[in-house]
Structure 1
Amino acid sequence: MIERVEMALITWGDQYRRRGTVAMLQCTLGAMIDAQGEMIRSTALGAGYGVGLESGPLGAVGEAVERALVMIRQPVEAGGHGKVGAELVKLARVRYLTDPMPLVEQQAKRMGWRSQATYRSKLHQLHVLLEPLLLAELPWLRRAS
C-alpha cells in the first residue's frame, strides 16, 4: 500500500460521499438542483481563486483521483488498462465510497476474490497505477508522505 495514494483515495471517497453527484453533472442547473438550490463556485485552477482540498465540485484531490480512475479504466488502445483497470476502479469504489469502509473480507467477497492475498495484491496494483497519475497532477502530494 502506498500511503500518499491511500490518503488521496480516502479523501476522494469522503468528498464524493459529501458532494454526491455534483461532480457528475456538467450543467449549472443540474449542479444547483443537486446542491439544493445553492450555487457552488469552483476554485479550481484558472478560476483566479486559491486552490485547496475543497476546490471544484470534488476538490483538487478528489477531482485528480476521479480523472486518474477514468484513465486507468479506459481500453488498452486508448492508453488505459482495459479489464484490469475496470476491475481496479470497482475495487476503489467498493473500498472508498462505502461508509464505513467494509472489512477486507467483505470487500474481497464483493469483488469475487477468495483470498485476502489476491485482495492485497490488487489494492497494491491500484495504488501503483494511480501514483504517477496523481503525482503528475498534484506534485505537492509527493511531499505529503
Structure 2
Amino acid sequence: MRWKVFLAGVMQGSMIEKGLVPQDYRAELKHLLRQHLPEADVYDPLADHRNSLEYDRRTGREVFFFHNEMCRTVDLLIAYLPQASMGTAIEMWEAYRHGAVVVTISPMRHNWVVKFLSHRIYSGLDAFRVALETGEIRRLLQERIGKSSLQR
C-alpha cells in the first residue's frame, strides 16, 4: 500500500518582510520518512515552488488553492509548526475534514488548531522519529484505512 503524504509547515510564519523561515526541517522529515515509511509518496510544496515568493498574484493564488485542495486527498499530513502558520492551519483543516491522519510537530500543544486538528502532537523531530521507529505512524494510517472501508 502506498500512502500519500503532504509535508505542511511554517514557511513565512509571522514575517513582515518577504522571506522564508529556515526550511531545513523538510529534508529531515523526508529522510525520516524514506527510512521508516518507505511506501510513502511524499509531496513537499516547497520542492516544486522554490521561487514562490516571486510569483505574480495569479500564480501565487493558483498554487495556494491547489495545495489546499491537494490536502483533501492525502492519507497523512505532517505539520511542522515551531511557530504559528496560517497556511499550515488551512492545510491541516482541509486534511482533517477529509479524513486524513494529521500529525503535528510543535511545542504549541495548547493552540486550538494544533490541539483540535491533530491526531497526534509531537514536541519535536526526535519525538516524531520515535513515533516512526515504533510503528505508531504506520498504525495510525492503517486505522484510517480500516475506518474508511467501514464507511463505504
TM-score normalised per structure 1: 0.30
Q: Which has the higher helix share?
A: 1
- Which protein shows a greater Rg? 1
The structure richer in strand per residue is: 2
